[in-house]
Amino acid sequence: MRTLTAVATVCVCMAGAGLWWSAGAAPAAPEVVRLGASDAVTPAASTGADKLEKFKGAEPKPMPPLSFVDAEGRRVDLADFKDRVILLNLWATWCGPCVKEMPSLDRLQAQLGGDAFQVVALSLDRGGRTAVEPFYKKTGVEHLTVFLDPGSESMKALSLRGLPTTILVDPEGRELGRVEGAVEWDSPEVVAFLRQFLGRGGGTGGGPARDHGVMKTRG
């Protein structure tokens, strides 16, 4: 599976920001398609839909087991979301490109979220809930559930190279592709692209084993 990275004005938060593999040899880096400066996702240049188009025809690959917690500290497994298309976004509040794209992910969840689709925004902030909930409140995020990986276990499990990284997962729990860098997720082009995957393979019913749905309000 190829991964995609935007260069030039789109930066990916790397180890220098204080978050990377903590011990042992780093896993082999995934193959990357390097895009030219004209493909960088900037307010005036692109929504990122051009990079997502490269997912078409890609061979799905198995995802490793992935566990994290919700705001109450309850364990959540990625497998809980079987039968939904998942947009798994790995991010942190200290990552500039992550912060930039978070409102568009919130709007995408409001538009497409339901039995067939869910945005799973997984924070790698070491502060966990105490870092994420104030950020959501300050930025007006209302439709994303708080999911936390303060130990950054997902970075090693998924062979990530930096943040933000967003992985498209099919209803069978297989990776369809990934993007490194910010994308305008609720742009018409990106929404139209994602709609192509809804209803494939695993159907549109069922939902997760436990209720990890849309968070409507915050205190």
Residue-level pLDDT at 53 = 66
Per-residue pLDDT of 3-38, as tens digits, reads 333 332 233 454 333 332 222 233 333 333 222 222
Which pTM was predicted? 0.74
Q: Is 3-9+29-195 CATH 3.40.30.10? A: yes
Helix ranges (DSSP H) in the chain: 49-52, 96-112, 129-139, 153-157, 188-195
* Whether residue 203 has pLDDT greater than 90: no
Q: How confident is the model at residue 216 (pLDDT cuts 50, 70, 90)?
A: very low
Q: How confident is the model at residue 200 (pLDDT cuts 50, 70, 90)?
A: low
User: How is the chain split into domains, by residue range?
Assistant: 3-9+29-195
Q: How confident is the model at residue 46 (pLDDT cuts 50, 70, 90)?
A: low
Extract the tokens encoding 145.
């559930």
Comparison of pLDDT for 111 and 52, the residue scoring more: 111
